[in-house]
């Protein structure tokens, strides 16, 4: 009976050794697939954190000791010699746990050895990678074009360069199993140069129909806007705006192409500036426009056109063919200007000003209201209860004139004359 138990124990010991060898080979051969299962497990990270030579020696020594010292042999012998069924089952469970733990350790070693070889082969130039794929590893070093380290988690990175690198001899000796695996699989230590793919910044050019001081509250976008300067002033704006990534460095020029422009980003932020030399009345407040934008944002520059300051002096000095309107304007003692309606397909507005006066002669706390002249804005004029009709404002030789508004306008403002 004792001899039979001893033989069975020896058989279990041999089976243990073969199983551990197969588990390590299994982890090495099918590393990429097994890594998806155990990549975040402590059993893998604990093994992979050591230099592979020390890890392999430690695991191999552990397996050898378990085989050499008859732990498995004795446990198996007692299983077959013990007459108590409960004790026998307990020893079987204990032995099974030992096998499972040792097997998983050997699988983790195999995966840890194969992982660098697989990683250094899976990258291609012009390929994309996410931030969680940028793992610190002596076999794959990832740097930015300026030599910095990628830190932005919110964007993808484009691989713009792959070059092999040499490892110091002492590192090769400490990491010999992994190094041999790389050489065997035609891989090797590489350096990846990447470029972050930040979303474009959209730079739009808007026509501010109404502005309070320098703050635009109602604006519209016109595909034919740029180039349509007032008569005799074509080309009086800069054909390019400047930008600086990160707000530093030498400014670069971007040639304006219509009312909507896409600026490819090389950094997370950009400083935009559009400098002009507007000459007509009230355009100079928008001469120097500067915006700070983050990747993916939309920013607006304003093409001012000609505009006037809306106040009592302007009303009283107006001209009109309509004598009834002209009489009310020249006799105005106060006024209030409200936003009545807008074509929301072409005009965007600050919701905060919808239900309040844009400008009023007895409300000095409001900033000066500037409005664009021309047929884009119609004024629905009231004098008390009298509805005076719809008019637009035009200028000529410095004179403000009120004319009947066309049938379609982008914006209607209500003017109450006191």
Mind listing the pLDDT tens digit for each residue in 232-258? 566 678 889 999 998 777 899 999 988
pLDDT of residue 1: 45
d(CA 176, CA 171): 8
How deeply is 67 buried, as exposed, middle or buried, from its count of CB atoms within 10 A (0-12, 13-18, 19+)? middle
d(CA 4, CA 12): 12
When computed from its CA atoms, the radius of gyration of the chain, rounded to whole angstroms, is 39
Low-confidence ranges of the chain (pLDDT < 70): 1-13, 65-85, 88, 227-235, 280-281, 353-355
d(CA 221, CA 228): 13
Q: How many CA atoms lie within 13 A of 292 on its CB side?
A: 4
Nearest CA among 107, 108, 120, 110 for reference residue 182: 120
pLDDT of residue 202: 96
Alpha-carbon dihedral angle through residues 152, 156, 160, 164, given to the nearest 10 degrees: 70
pLDDT of residue 303: 85
């Amino acid at each position: 009976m004792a001899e039979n138990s001893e033989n069975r124990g020896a058989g279990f010991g041999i089976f243990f050794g073969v199983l551990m060898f197969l588990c390590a080979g299994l982890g090495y051969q099918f590393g990429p697939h097994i890594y998806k299962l155990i990549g975040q497990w402590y059993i893998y990270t604990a093994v992979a954190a050591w230099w592979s030579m020390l890890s392999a020696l430690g695991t191999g020594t552990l397996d050898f000791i378990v085989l050499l010292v008859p732990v498995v042999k004795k446990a198996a012998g007692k299983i077959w010699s013990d007459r108590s069924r409960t004790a026998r089952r307990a020893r079987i469970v204990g032995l099974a746990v030992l096998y499972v733990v040792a097997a998983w350790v050997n699988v983790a070693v195999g995966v840890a050895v194969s992982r660098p070889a697989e990683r250094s082969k899976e990258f291609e130039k012009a390929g994309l990678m996410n931030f969680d794929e940028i793992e610190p590893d002596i076999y794959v070093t990832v740097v930015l074009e300026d030599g910095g380290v990628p830190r932005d988690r919110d964007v993808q990175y484009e691989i713009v360069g792959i070059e092999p690198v040499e490892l110091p001899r002492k590192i090769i000796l400490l990491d010999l199993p992994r190094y041999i695996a790389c050489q065997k699989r035609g891989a090797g230590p590489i350096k990846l140069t990447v470029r972050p793919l930040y979303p474009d910044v959209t730079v739009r050019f808007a026509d501010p129909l109404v502005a309070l001081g320098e703050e635009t509250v109602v604006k519209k976008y016109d595909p034919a806007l740029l180039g349509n300067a007032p008569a005799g002033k074509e080309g009086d704006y800069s054909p390019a705006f400047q930008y600086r990534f990160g707000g530093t460095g030498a400014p670069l020029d971007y040639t304006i192409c219509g009312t909507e422009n896409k600026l490819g980003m090389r950094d997370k932020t950009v400083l935009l500036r559009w400098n002009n030399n507007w000459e007509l009345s009230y355009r100079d407040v928008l001469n120097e426009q500067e915006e700070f934008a983050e990747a993916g944002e939309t920013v607006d520059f304003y093409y001012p056109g000609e505009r006037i300051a809306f106040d009592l002096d302007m009303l009283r000095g107006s001209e009109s063919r309509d004598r009834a309107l002209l009489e009310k304007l020249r006799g105005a003692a106060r006024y209030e200007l409200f936003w009545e309606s807008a074509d929301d397909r072409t005009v965007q507005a600050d919701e905060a000003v919808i239900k309040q006066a844009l400008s009023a002669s007895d409300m000095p706390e409001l900033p000066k209201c500037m409005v664009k002249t021309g047929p884009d804005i119609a004024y629905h004029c009231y004098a008390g209860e009298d509805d005076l009709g719809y008019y637009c404002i035009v200028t000529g030789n410095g004179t403000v004139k009120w004319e009947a508004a066309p049938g379609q306008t982008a914006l209607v403002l209500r003017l109450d004359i006191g």
